[in-house]
């Protein structure tokens, strides 16, 4: 999937029905998407804008990136 821009104030290069898009390292990235709060549970947020849901529990949906669980 497409990752979120590391800089939430990145320059908008493209806008569509999904949202605003920038470019980092020559690749498209999403701008201004609210990040999840999984760090409270000790897990990172999935960096993809549209990650695959692998598991769902009382805390929400989970994905996997680089062999590690991440919150969706």
**34: phi then psi, degrees, rounded to nearest 5:** -65, 130
Please tell me the class of the 35-72 domain.
Answer: alpha beta
pLDDT at 41: 73
How do the domains of the chain map onto residue ranges?
1-33, 35-72
* CB-based contact 1:27 (threshold 8 Å): no
Over the chain (72 residues), the average pLDDT of each successive run of 10 is: 78 84 90 63 81 89 92 86
Indicate the CATH number of 1-33 among 3.40.120.10, 3.50.30.30, 3.90.1220.10, 3.40.1160.10: 3.90.1220.10
């Amino acid at each position: 999937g497409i990752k979120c821009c590391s800089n939430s104030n990145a320059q908008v290069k493209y806008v569509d029905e999904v949202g605003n898009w920038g470019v980092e390292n020559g690749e498209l990235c999403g701008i201004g998407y609210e990040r999840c709060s999984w760090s409270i549970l000790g897990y990172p947020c999935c960096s993809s804008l549209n990650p695959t849901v692998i598991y769902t529990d009382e805390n929400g949906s989970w994905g996997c990136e680089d062999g590690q669980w991440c919150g969706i």
